[in-house]
Copies of this chain bind each other. A is one copy, B any other.
Amino acid sequence: MILKGEEKLTKKDRNLYLTNTPLQQAMEEYLHLISQSFVGVSDETIMVQEALGRKTASPVFAKVSAPHYNAAAMDGIAVDASITNGASETNPIQLKIDRDYTVVNTGAPLTMERNAVIMVEDIVELDHETVEIRGAASPWQHVRPVGEDMVKGELILSENHMIRPQDIAALLTGGIGWVKVKRKIAVGVIPTGSEITELIDPLPEGKIIESNSKMFQALLSSYEAMGITYPIVKDEPEKIRLAIEKAVDENDLVVVNAGSSAGTKDYTVDVLREIGNVFTHGVAIKPGKPAILAEVKGKPVVGIPGYPVSAYVVFEQMVKPLVYELQNQKPIQVEKLKATLARRIISSLKHEEFVRVKVGKVDERWIATPLNRGAGVTMSLVRADGILRIPQSTEGYDKGDNVEIELSRSKEDLSNTIVSVGSHDLVMDLLANELQKKNDNLALSSAHVGSMGGIIAMKQKECHLAPIHLLDEISGEYNIDYVRKYFANEQMSMIKLVKRSQGLMVQKGNPKEITSLEDLNRKDISMINRQKGAGTRILLDYMLKTKKMDPNLLQGYQREMTTHMAVAVAIKNNTADCGLGVESAAKAMELDFIPIAWEEYDLLTPKYMLETKEVKKLLEVVRSDSFVKQIMSLGGYDCSQIGKTILI
């Protein structure tokens, strides 16, 4: 929302002064305080078949023995063993029904006078009432005695035991139909913010879709807790207070989302100070600094920042241990892995940082590549394979450092992932999708760092594939010359992908009447650029040079985006008049397009990779009709060479 002049702007009225408490210290103190005031989770009695994953609230003892009678363990006849004494091949004994034996199937009860079972295989039936046996039976042979499985009164499960499928069978077998378990922790989630809204279509400008509470609900269900989301509360202190009081009454733990920072509209901390105690406001983590740890009526209340990545980190780092503490459980351990860092990361000494990384296995070495660090980039959570923690006291890590990653995908899945680093094109998204669709256990992971970034990553053995489109200024040829130059002593190969149409994207109807690159010199035209090292940037710089245009005179030349779509959307939204990019992106964003050049966009890979089953499967997809059809429908592509391989 836009504030009017009567609202205060200066520091004196704002909670600018967040503390910078280290995470571990803040949590230790908080868990200690909360454990003193928390009254504990009550028990509930539920049906055994609904108790999977729940924890017993008291020891469970068998109510009946299993079996509760002496039972035949085989199909055959039940006898008193003593009457079989002396039977042998040379001295068969005949037995009469009822008087000497009873026919029994497995599981049938033995009457008092019978104490052994002879298997049907060891019997010769003479007539319906007579059998012959040719061996003696020993007492209790082929009999399941009472209590063989469990004895009445025996301990089946200890208190505090997490119930598994086999435990359910054992409880029922022991005659237990209902079991006392610990109630799940109830967590009230209050989304706040005048600017947030449930998903509506069309979405008004200035409104943000409320997605955090749904993410929290899912996280809570993975912690085995029960989330209850309340309606969105506007940024008004009185409404926030009422919502928190209600949620505290109805739950064991309350989470207030956003309003936790120190802006003019951030009332959460003031309300919590008024109705309870705030222990910490400001934790030394990034993202997630403006978190709040408080208590209202003896129950924990946590304030969580609004940006989705901050919200995720604070939830996992602070709410998760709290939930497990209240449930008197340990959190499930996160799988960890040691990896080589692909890029240097600089971090402040002031905070512990949680960096999302992609992880891939190349040449038997695990490689971690940092993703976008913006707290607002939900997609960095989706793309991440794990988290790298940078401790508060370090300035970051160097490229090549051996770092520990907390994984969010399994090591096994990650081993079955083709790692691509290089230029971005929509075709790579299609390829990732087709590959995963056709091969359940093969994924394609793409990092977008531009063509030169791809060449460098390949050189350093940090990826399997590098999508590139690099024009050699002298030969005018694409890709091959660069590969020859950078991989003079290595056997490389190129998987031909597409030719694509590069050109100027301009607003629909081309209102500024842009017709060629020379128009970028005009004072009424602002452009938007790609980052250094991107093939598109290299192409632009090459053309500016041939046309003897000075980049520094172009408005917007310094404003860099990292994908074609980001350039397209900036133009679509009128924050720039034009930018160089591919036709498919212009088409996707409904922009006009002025073609400038066709370029070749190919996949570089070491020669030996062509023989791996992963790349063979990739080639199958690349060469499939359905894939080519999808590419052609994007517009601006030529697939005539697709799937050919060249050795360099």
Max chain B CB contacts within 10 Å: which of A67, A105, A261? Answer: A105
**Given A160-B437, A381-B169, A589-B152, is A49 in contact with B7 using a C-beta cutoff of 8 Å?**
no
Inter-chain contacts of A146 with B (CB < 8 A):
569-570, 572-573, 575
In chain B, what residue has the closest Cβ to A139? B559
The CA-CA distance from A115 to B161 in the complex, in Å, is: 59
**Given A9-B103, A169-B312, A330-B441, is A158 in contact with B433 using a C-beta cutoff of 8 Å?**
yes
Inter-chain contacts of A63 with B (CB < 8 A):
201
The CA-CA distance from A172 to B264 in the complex, in Å, is: 27
Q: Are B218 and A201 in contact (CB under 8 A)?
A: no
Q: Are A5 and B97 in contact (CB under 8 A)?
A: yes
| 1/0 contact string of A164-175 vs chain B (CB within 8 Å) | 111111111101
Q: Are A7 and B103 in contact (CB under 8 A)?
A: yes
Instruction: Determine whether A646 belongs to the interface, using a CB cutoff of 8 Å to chain B.
Output: no
What distance in Å separates the Cβ of A400 from its nearest Cβ neighbour in chain B?
29
| 1/0 contact string of A515-530 vs chain B (CB within 8 Å) | 0000000000000000
Inter-chain contacts of A157 with B (CB < 8 A):
382
Identical copies in the complex: 2
Q: Are A264 and B105 in contact (CB under 8 A)?
A: yes
Inter-chain contacts of A216 with B (CB < 8 A):
165
The CA-CA distance from A169 to B211 in the complex, in Å, is: 5
**Given A128-B6, A175-B209, A378-B173, is A68 in contact with B203 using a C-beta cutoff of 8 Å?**
yes
Instruction: Determine whether A321 belongs to the interface, using a CB cutoff of 8 Å to chain B.
Output: no
Q: Are B49 and A569 in contact (CB under 8 A)?
A: no
Q: Are B2 and A158 in contact (CB under 8 A)?
A: no
| 1/0 contact string of A243-274 vs chain B (CB within 8 Å) | 00000000000000000010111000000000
The CA-CA distance from A77 to B7 in the complex, in Å, is: 12
Q: Which of A105-160 touch B at CB < 8 Å?
A: 105-109, 112, 115, 120-121, 123-125, 128-129, 131, 139-140, 144-160
What distance in Å separates the Cβ of A12 from its nearest Cβ neighbour in chain B?
10
Partner of A152, one of B102, B148, B306, B569: B569
What distance in Å separates the Cβ of A466 from its nearest Cβ neighbour in chain B?
20
Inter-chain contacts of A263 with B (CB < 8 A):
75, 105-106
The CA-CA distance from A436 to B171 in the complex, in Å, is: 19
Q: Which of A42-92 touch B at CB < 8 Å?
A: 48-49, 52, 59, 63-70, 73, 75, 77
Q: Which of A327-344 touch B at CB < 8 Å?
A: 328-330, 333
In chain B, what residue has the closest Cβ to A61? B429
Instruction: Determine whether A308 belongs to the interface, using a CB cutoff of 8 Å to chain B.
Output: yes
Inter-chain contacts of A121 with B (CB < 8 A):
11, 16
The CA-CA distance from A5 to B97 in the complex, in Å, is: 7
**Given A9-B103, A140-B559, is A166 in contact with B381 using a C-beta cutoff of 8 Å?**
yes
What distance in Å separates the Cβ of A20 from its nearest Cβ neighbour in chain B?
16
Q: Are B108 and A156 in contact (CB under 8 A)?
A: no
Q: Are A151 and B565 in contact (CB under 8 A)?
A: yes
Q: Are A108 and B11 in contact (CB under 8 A)?
A: no
The CA-CA distance from A168 to B156 in the complex, in Å, is: 40
Partner of A440, one of B160, B164, B333, B570: B160
**Given A11-B121, A214-B49, is A166 in contact with B378 using a C-beta cutoff of 8 Å?**
yes
Instruction: Determine whether A488 belongs to the interface, using a CB cutoff of 8 Å to chain B.
Output: no
Q: Are B330 and A440 in contact (CB under 8 A)?
A: yes
A-B interface, 7 closest residue pairs, ranked by CB to CB distance from nearest: A172-B211, A165-B218, A166-B381, A169-B215, A147-B569, A3-B103, A49-B214
29 A–B contact pairs at CB < 8 A?
A3-B105, A5-B103, A5-B128, A7-B103, A10-B120, A11-B121, A14-B120, A49-B214, A68-B203, A70-B573, A105-B264, A145-B569, A145-B575, A146-B572, A147-B565, A147-B566, A154-B429, A156-B382, A158-B437, A160-B436, A160-B440, A164-B218, A167-B382, A168-B214, A170-B381, A172-B210, A173-B211, A175-B201, A177-B199
Taking Cβ atoms with an 8 Å cutoff, the residues of A that contact B are 1-7, 9-11, 14, 16, 48-49, 52, 59, 63-70, 73, 75, 77, 97, 102-109, 112, 115, 120-121, 123-125, 128-129, 131, 139-140, 144-161, 164-173, 175, 177, 195, 199, 201, 203, 205-206, 208-212, 214-219, 221-222, 261, 263-265, 306, 308, 312, 328-330, 333, 374, 376-379, 381-382, 408, 410, 412, 429, 432-433, 436-437, 440-441, 443, 559, 563, 565-566, 568-570, 572-575, 588-589
